[in-house]
Amino acid sequence: MSFLDRLRAAERRADSLLCVGLDPDPAKFPAPWTGDAGRIFDFCARIVDATKDLVLAYKPQIAYFAAHRAEDQLERLMAYLARTAPDVPVILDAKRGDIGATAEQYAREAFDRYQADAVTVSPFMGFDTVEPYLRRPGKGVFLLCRTSNPGGADWQAQRLADLPGQPRLYEHLAAMAETRWNRNGQLGLVVGATWPEELARVRALAPTLPLLIPGVGAQGGDAAATVRAAWRGTPEGGSTAPIVVNSSRAVLYASAGPDFAEAARREALATRDTLNAARRG
């Protein structure tokens, strides 16, 4: 099964567009785990147990593990996800971007060490930063396109004067990802919920690609506007290409008390329902 097929199957099974980002910050853990990096796996596993029937995907952010020397806990978490939520695709948020043999090592890290179903990649250095990841049949690669941070416009919104029509950089990237870069149907794009007009533009340029959309929740992105801009339905009720709408902090830290997992479930359920209401009109 291709990664795109896995996403479509997960969308149908959970009736969901929601991805929960696993960005564990021990300083925000509930007592008595507050500040204890040794509890990263335990915290994330509780979140997974509480939400796995509600989500389209999970997105662990590698820096939140590596900063605490917790890569071994990330490996445990990936194995736990494969065992307890085998039908939920896992996107490793690594944002790697390098060339040649180094890119191949990053691909090995994501797909062999951590057994991720997909990974985020920066295409700033060109297609040879992307190609090593595409040698893995069935794996997905999400390219940073129009990111949710305000500074993204410093590069992504600049026009390319040498190309017909002078497209913006993110527009050119979306068009290339939809066509000549997408050799095996493995590519997707990262586009922030904080920019609904740009999100709609990317969807127009890349109608068949899955979109990973961060920025809903703590970053202020509007869930309903996101769906209106990016989701395209089929007569059967599915989507022409999935959208993976990520919420991290709003779900993980919905409560600072011992009920954190239950609160995370309530927040995830509310977000899923908001997204579904938007796509159903």
Which DSSP string corresponds to 95-138? EE---HHHHHHHHHIIIIIS--SEEEE--TT-GGGTGGGGGSTT
Compute the half-sphere exposure of residue 61: CA atoms within 13 Å on the CB side of its CA: 17
Name which of 115, 126, 124 is nearest 91 in CA terms: 115
Nearest C-alpha neighbor of 247 from the set 43, 87, 54, 111: 54
Write down the catalytic residue from 28, 52, 59, 95: 95
Token code pair at residue 74: 């990330």
Q: Residue 12: which residues within 8 A CB-CB, separation 6 or more?
A: 238
Contacts of 276 (CB under 8 A, 6+ apart): 15, 16, 17
What burial class does residue 92 get, using C-beta atoms within 10 Å of its C-beta: 0-12 exposed, 13-18 middle, 19+ buried? Answer: buried
What's the token pair of residue 23? 């960005």
- H-only helix segments in the chain: 3-14, 40-51, 62-66, 71-84, 100-108, 153-156, 169-178, 196-205, 223-230, 249-252, 260-279
* C-alpha 246 chain-centroid distance: 6
Does the annotation count 95 as an active-site position? yes
Q: Exposed, middle or buried by CB within 10 Å (0-12, 13-18, 19+), for 273? A: middle
Q: Could you tell me if 246 and 214 are in contact, meaning their C-beta atoms sit under 8 angstroms apart?
A: yes
List, by residue number, the catalytic residues. 95
